[in-house]
Amino acid sequence: MSHSYRQPGVVLTDRRFTVPLDHADPEGETIELYAREVVASGKAGDDLPWLVYLQGGPGFGANRFIGKQAWLERALNEYRVLLLDQRGTGHSTPANRQTLPLRGTPAEQADYLTHFRADSIVRDCELIRPRLTGGAPWTVLGQSFGGFCAVSYLSLAPEGVAGAVITGGLPSLDAHADDVYRAAYPRIERKVGAHYARYPQDVERARRIADHLLTHDVVLPNGYRFTVEAFQSLGLMLGMSDGSHRLHYLLEDAFVRTPAGPELSDAFQEAVQGLLSYADHPLYALLQEPIYGQDPRPTAWAAERVRAEFPQFDAAKALAGDAPVLFTGETVHPWTFDTDPALRPLREAADLLAARTDWRPLYDPARLAANEVPVAAAVYHDDMYVDAAHSLRTARAIRGLRTWVTDEFEHDGLRTGAPRVLDRLLALARDEG
């Protein structure tokens, strides 16, 4: 049963849908999806085309906007928008340390999680779409991992798509996870170098924190084991428009004087645990590498293995000399499941996912080469999370896709550049600009 309510300038309707866990077994087990319909107040009764928004991730529920924030203002000029909590996220049937044990053994948990990738999300959309649009195709807006889902949509069910706009989310069609991270670490190093060039005082601050963590056993208030590798992973922020500044302000208040000597301050630890915890998005950690699984090779903790090819990221070696401590980025490691109490019970399931060799293909190169759906994509020139070279190779493989390559924005351009970014992409998709 749907329920409608109002915020400034918009009418919101909560919607829930029952879908098969496995779309290959439509009569089998089901899960619930939640989505929030948004329409401009003055157009609530109008017959409008639909736009479905696919959030970045994996593992995050759709944005919780208040009124017409960010890109939503532009979208509501002409669309009725569906903000979908992809399966396992937000208000949809959850998948986390509390619920996954209901599945049984770690092997059964891992089997369950194989149904939470882009192909299943696309099938969910196709089950939902006719119920809302009466069968008409809708426009798909995919941000980051949502863009990966959009490319899967064009591969699996292009008849459901009137147009697609993608921001920071054109995936490689055939790269193994090793290839993804082999391309990622040099980009991460460039972002760290740019941060230290902007804030040279942070070089010594980061070295001091890393040294403290190598010589002390630090457990954050929520039970997170704060290791030097976990500290380095705070570099995830550097891919966002304000990330360098936020990291700088975090580092400057790290220590406080105590009777026992310098210690990491309570304020610093509180801020860090909020940034590092996967409590509200565990699927991000569980599926970060499986979203690249497409061939018989296992992902096999690719980010951890490939990191060994880049010894400059070893904090102990940096501290032994005078090199800066390098932060890392969007990488998940075996130790991630040992440090975070929200993930510890899921370590065995994560290991089984990393060893899996029966992943289904997510993209159809032949179908994409014959694409007839209008598509436009923003490719951020030095995106820390999605390799621009991989994205451009994919852009050339999708018939008719138009790209906007820019260094004006970081990965969060849809948020920081809205409504201009969405307006530009819609115009490109329509061949209006």
- Spatial CA neighbour of 327 closest among 395, 399, 408, 229: 229
The helix/strand/coil state of 1 is: coil
Question: CA–CA separation, 58 vs 379, rounded Å?
Answer: 19
**Is 411 known to be catalytic?**
yes
**Is 211 known to be catalytic?**
no
292 CB-side CA count, 13 A = 26
Q: Determine which one of 119, 233, 411, 412 is catalytic.
A: 411
Alpha helices in 80-236 (DSSP H): 106-113, 118-133, 145-156, 177-198, 201-215, 228-232
Q: Determine which one of 46, 47, 322, 358 is catalytic.
A: 358
Q: 217: phi > 0 → left, psi -120 to 50 → alpha, else beta; which?
A: beta
- Name the β-bridge partners of 141: 53, 165
Peptide bond into 282 cis (omega under 30): no
Distance from chain centroid for Cα 390: 17
Q: Determine which one of 92, 144, 172, 244 is catalytic.
A: 144
**Is 358 known to be catalytic?**
yes
CA-to-CA dists, residue 177 to 290, 297, 331, angstroms: 8, 10, 11
Other beta carbons within 10 angstroms of residue 211's beta carbon come to: 16
User: Are the beta carbons of 411 and 240 closer than 8 angstroms?
Assistant: yes
Give the containing element (helix H, strand E) for 72.
Answer: helix 72-75
Question: CA–CA separation, 59 vs 82, rounded Å?
Answer: 18
**DSSP string for residues in 317-373:** HHHHTTPPPPP--S---TTHHHH-TTTGGGHHHHHHHHH---PPP---HHHHHT--S
Helical packing angle, 266-276 and 243-252, nearest 10°: 150
Instruction: List CB contacts of 64: < 8 A, sequence separation 6 or more.
Output: none
Backbone angles phi, psi at 117, to 5 degrees: -95, -175
Point out the residues that are catalytic. Answer: 144, 358, 411
